[in-house]
Structure 1
Amino acid sequence: MNHSSPSRVQVPADPREEMVTHLPALRAFALSLCRNGATADDLVQETILKAWGNLDKYNTGTNLRAWLFTILRNTYYSSRRKRGREVSDSDGIHAARLAQKPDHDGRLAMADFWKAFEHLPDEQREALILVGASGFSYEEAAETCGCAVGTIKSRANRGRKRLAELLNLGEDEEMFMTDGATMAVMAAGPVSAG
């Protein structure tokens, strides 16, 4: 009888090597923020360059993934501020005008989900990506976003509710808008319009 412990995934000792393991998650997060593949790739590249150049500021043994996500997030919002083209829709009026009732009965098409997801405010989309698709705990997501845990919980909850509204879900269907369901749909990736 073999009493050996289960094998564990070995994390590279060098943070530069570990960065490679986080590239798919970084790209997914970048894509959720900018909604453009080329821009997301540029954002990930800039994130890795910044991280590489600032490795002396990284505390070895801490959560490298959270550190990289924080750099990516800060880079994204810095670039948005520089462009100055951000449109505020805190009350959701503009997004509500863009909502469209699905023309199918009962099933949510992936394309409908992505259209609705793109209409969420950045903060809500970001919270759902972090706690849903990226598997961050609320605490890790709050640390990444530089806000309180309650703020992340609130953003995720408002995001799920807004998705339910945009998808015209009835109250009995809203229970399916959980982080797990969001994670499953988002893991499949956006559906191309062509």
Structure 2
Amino acid sequence: MITTHPFHILLPQQTLALRRRALSLTSNHHRAEDLVQDTLLKAWAKRDSYSPDTNLRAWLFTILRNTFFSDLRKSRREVQDVDGACARTLFEDPSQDHALALKELVSAIALLPQAQRRPLMLMGAYGFSQLEAANACQCTVGTIKSRVSRGRNTLSQAVTYNQVA
């Protein structure tokens, strides 16, 4: 013998009253229908907590009202972003691209000859002047300029080649 829950009979009897109440709260037919559906789903999910000797309509109206106010609170925090302007301001470039580019640069620098790598590192990474780099490498300023220039060209070609490949 299969017994049916009293909600199978009682809920359909209350839907018209729920629709009227939802429409008075929302002033929008589509939102009212959504509110009624949410109310019926919540009531069905909690049907075992309903006492058959209590007022079902009042219980359903309480669920409807609470659902309406919950939705209202949620909608106040939501931003209407039809054209995506707000979402574009929240965009951030992926950080792994920078890490990969740095790793690629370090690899390319490691492939430079020592004569180009050292002056390039002294001036580019450590902020040495041309004169300070020349003194550290025990050569003339003109030689440092030449080595840094060749090192930069080699790096530029290596990095450009890797981006194309």
TM-score after normalising by structure 1? 0.36
TM-score after normalising by structure 2? 0.43
Higher gyration radius (CA): 2
**Larger relative contact order (Cα-Cα within 8 Å, sequence gap ≥ 6):** 1
